Amino acid sequence: MKIEKESLIIIISILLLILLLIIGYFYLKNKKEYALKIYFFDAGKADAILVSKDDKYIMIDTGEESLKDDILSYFKNNNIKRLDYLIITHFDKDHVGSASHIINNIEVDNVLQSNSPKDSTYYNNYIEALNNKNITPITVSNDYEIDLREMKITVNGPNKIYDSNESNNSSLITSLIYNDTSFLFMGDAENNRIKDYLDEYHNTYNFLKVPYHGNYLKQFENLVNITKPSYAVITCSNKEKESDETIDILKNNKIKYYLTRNGKINVYSDGKEIIIKQ
């Protein structure tokens, strides 16, 4: 009787172990690892975007100077001590405003910039910070390729100087491919820059950072028709909202869109699908 009882205990224990192994297998099989993270700071009508995978960090623009404490606090809270790349799409204050503070306070390995300098306090502070840290920025024209932790990134710069809206049209345009997911960040590119870009590239993307804060652009519908995104983010504020025409284009193309005037935005990818939380 004692032997039978011990045998029963052993059989039950084995069955429980098998059950736990099965549960563990399906848990691991179905668990999503969203290794790629894209964080849009709560910057309103300004661009401040942090791309990360594992221990690699890329920042696209830095928002206005008033955002500096939020950015540096986020870095500290998330133990981010260095950026592999800082991309300054152009030199308007809502894109380069906090750049000097970032460069002065953490390590920055590489800086990519556009080809249209601007006479402003923010630009001068940015140049001074680069000199203080002995960083030589790379002015991008045509394509600059980055291959980093399975992220294939192309930073496209204009190869000419634009006569109209020179600063915005000088914007660097950044594309990011991570396995089966793809992202396009348009800076503040306006009609001329968008047209020139689309004349050369006809790629589709899952995700679009809408150019120029959602202001209506004649080329925007063409951009959407070619890139065919499923998701979009507009960097906008309560005072300076996105245009109704831009929203109508997104709605007509069944694109799910998010607005930074509603707060920070987190974008995640496991290489197969994209999840966005706000």
- Which pLDDT score is estimated for 139? 98
Question: Nearest-CA neighbor of 85 among 188, 180, 154?
Answer: 154
49/43 Cα distance (integer angstroms):
9
- Which pLDDT score is estimated for 23? 63
**C-alpha 258: how far from chain center:** 13
256/266 Cα distance (integer angstroms):
14
Residues paired with residue 48 on neighbouring β-strands, in sequence order: 62
- Which pLDDT score is estimated for 18? 76
278/275 Cα distance (integer angstroms):
10
SS3 at position 112 = strand
pLDDT tens track of the chain, all 278 residues? 555 666 666 777 776 777 666 665 554 444 457 899 999 999 999 999 999 999 999 999 999 999 999 999 999 999 999 999 999 999 999 999 999 999 999 999 999 999 999 999 999 999 999 999 999 999 999 999 999 989 999 999 999 999 999 999 999 999 999 999 999 999 999 999 999 999 999 999 999 999 999 999 999 999 999 999 999 999 999 999 999 999 999 999 999 999 999 999 999 999 999 999 99
Domain 33-277 class in CATH: alpha beta
- Which pLDDT score is estimated for 134? 98
CA 196-201-203 angle, to 5 degrees, is 140
Beta strands 138-139 and 107-113 are parallel
Residue with token string 């306070």: 105
Domain borders along the chain are 1-31, 33-277
